[in-house]
Amino acid sequence: MFPLVKTFRIVAFFEGISYLLLFSNMLITKPNFPELYKAILYPLGMTHGLLFIAYIILAILVGSRLKWDNKTLFIVLLASVIPFGTFFVEKKYLKPIS
């Protein structure tokens, strides 16, 4: 059970970082360096998309193993679309486990 939680923590961290990098790419690079924005967007977007899917799948698996109620699972899943949300999940729901 704990290797799955550890994997989820790692994926949650990198998903949060990729989400913030995607936002910073849109807010900083796009208006100032349009050519660089286009070069960065595809690999960064693809990486974030894969991490997002992995986060959702692992959240469901970890939630079923740790017997999270529906409210907790909803909060964990909702955190994936809120900036800094995955860091909150790691601190509140996963830190006490390890």
Contact 19, 83 (CB under 8 A): yes
Contact 18, 48 (CB under 8 A): yes
Q: What pLDDT, in 10s, does the model give residues 67-92?
A: 999 999 999 999 999 989 999 988 88
**pLDDT in the model for residue 20:** 92
pLDDT at position 33, please? 86
pLDDT digits (tens, 9 = 90+) for 11-63: 999 999 999 999 888 888 888 888 888 888 889 999 999 999 999 999 999 99
